[in-house]
Amino acid sequence: MAAGGFAEAGADLELVGLQKRFPGFTAIEELNLTIPAGSFFALLGPSGCGKTTTLRLVAGLEEVTAGRILIGGKDVTSTKAYQRPVNTVFQSYALFPHMSIIDNVAFGLRRRKIDDAMGKAHEALRLVELDHLAARKPSQLSGGQQQRVALARAIVNRPALLLLDEPLGALDLKLRRQMQLELKSVQEEVGLTFLHVTHDQEEAMTMADTVAVMNKGRIEQLGAPAVLYELPRTVFVANFLGQSNLFSGQVVAENPDSISVDIDGTRIVVPKARAHRTSGHITVGVRPEKLILAREAPVESADNNILGPGRVIDVSFSGVSTQYLIQIPLVGTIVLFAQNMGTGPIVGEGAEVWVSWHVEHGFGLDDEVETGSRFPADTDTATLALQKRHALMSELGED
């Protein structure tokens, strides 16, 4: 199919043993990933985790160091960007400033000599409700409008795979929400495969069917947003995707369907089904909104984990909810979100409180608490020399 015609539907993307090394540093260690056709897939991670590099490798804007890229089962690893059935919505939109909006949108169609490029371009502009601005130049449009043009310019080509490189990053919150919904509905309408790169966990969770959390050149966990949130596998995922209260300790008892972990004398029970490991030294956690605040010691029961007493050290009100920081001796500081529903206690700083949660809400992680850098340090002489040279060259080059 390649760049020949319109893709009838999205194609699946397969990354096999993908690796990308830049001089002196590894952007992607080894990536194996299959994105099924027609899905909305989000690659979520902090800056520098390799997600944008992954996108650029798929688009053909960077060359892979090792591994293969397959689109719709066809190996495209060695093809050039303009030969791949892939289009990108760039972070900076990258609209051609010297062309009108309609010429921007028709650019890809004309390069492939597709009939009625103008008609199809107008149709794409109508989809993003900007057809009335077709004759304008990009500089005469607002940020949100430019973003929609960038989207139209990409989807008009009906690529088998659409890559989105943090396309909503530059928009303000309200516009971003609106665009998230629009993007999602466009994806459902045209049925293409979307690969969306973002560092905004809320954006990834609202829009994507599947989210892959990426860290230091590797995928930490992959799954549906709700699953990732409910059952994070690693400390990184538990903290990057929302907030978590994490406790480390030894498993002291194993029951048929739950385990007990000893946290410096306090026992925390976690269901076996919600723990990735059930023995040894493990980290368990609970989300701040699942915690219940009490001014008196709650009644002990098999269904509840109770921590306390502790002291409230900070209270911050944020409209729908109030965030409490509670210092509990031997356990540490706990974050708790209380919905401002008019029920439950209202406490001030310094109050003595207990924290409890239903056993079913806890989760057990797979890894230990984060330890240092994952990649071996590039400290051999050759690499250091190369790094020095590149630093020097870029320094001289920028004068």
Give yes or no for residue 234 binding another protein (CB under 8 A). no
> Is-contact 221 212, C-beta < 8 A?
yes
The length of the chain is 399
Minimum gap (Å) between residue 209 Cβ and another protein: 24
- Region at 204 (left for phi over 0; alpha for psi -120 to 50; beta for the rest): alpha
Give yes or no for residue 25 binding another protein (CB under 8 A). no
Minimum gap (Å) between residue 146 Cβ and another protein: 13
| Residues contacting another protein: total by CB under 8 A | 30
> Is-contact 137 149, C-beta < 8 A?
no
**DSSP structure string for 66-124:** EEEEEETTEE-TTS-GGGSSEEEE-TT----TTS-HHHHHHHHHHHTT-TTHHHHHHHH
- Reported as type and span, the H/E element at residue 149 is helix 143-155
* Three-class SS state of 313: strand
Applying CB under 8 A, which of residues 20, 120, 122, 153 lies at the interface with another protein? 153
Give yes or no for residue 82 binding another protein (CB under 8 A). yes
Give yes or no for residue 96 binding another protein (CB under 8 A). yes
Give yes or no for residue 396 binding another protein (CB under 8 A). yes
Q: Which stretch binds another protein (CB under 8 A): 13-21, 44-52, 103-111, 171-179?
A: 103-111
Applying CB under 8 A, which of residues 112, 184, 218, 311 lies at the interface with another protein? 112
Give yes or no for residue 198 binding another protein (CB under 8 A). no
**DSSP structure string for 327-365:** EETTTEEEEEEEE-SS-S----TT-EEEEEEEGGG-EE-
The amino acid at residue 375 is F
Minimum gap (Å) between residue 236 Cβ and another protein: 30
Give yes or no for residue 50 binding another protein (CB under 8 A). no
Give yes or no for residue 282 binding another protein (CB under 8 A). no
Give yes or no for residue 111 binding another protein (CB under 8 A). yes
Applying CB under 8 A, which of residues 50, 108, 362, 364 lies at the interface with another protein? 108
Give yes or no for residue 136 binding another protein (CB under 8 A). yes
Give yes or no for residue 3 binding another protein (CB under 8 A). yes
* Three-class SS state of 199: coil
Give yes or no for residue 74 binding another protein (CB under 8 A). no
Give yes or no for residue 61 binding another protein (CB under 8 A). yes
| Nearest residue (CB) to another protein, 343 versus 394 | 394
Residue at token pair 């009939």: 115
Give yes or no for residue 375 binding another protein (CB under 8 A). no
**DSSP structure string for 210-232:** EEEEEETTEEEEEE-HHHHHHS-
Minimum gap (Å) between residue 163 Cβ and another protein: 9
d(CA 157, CA 175): 25
Binding residues for another protein (CB under 8 A): 3, 59-61, 80-82, 86-88, 90-92, 94-98, 107-108, 111-112, 136, 140, 153, 157, 393, 396-397, 399
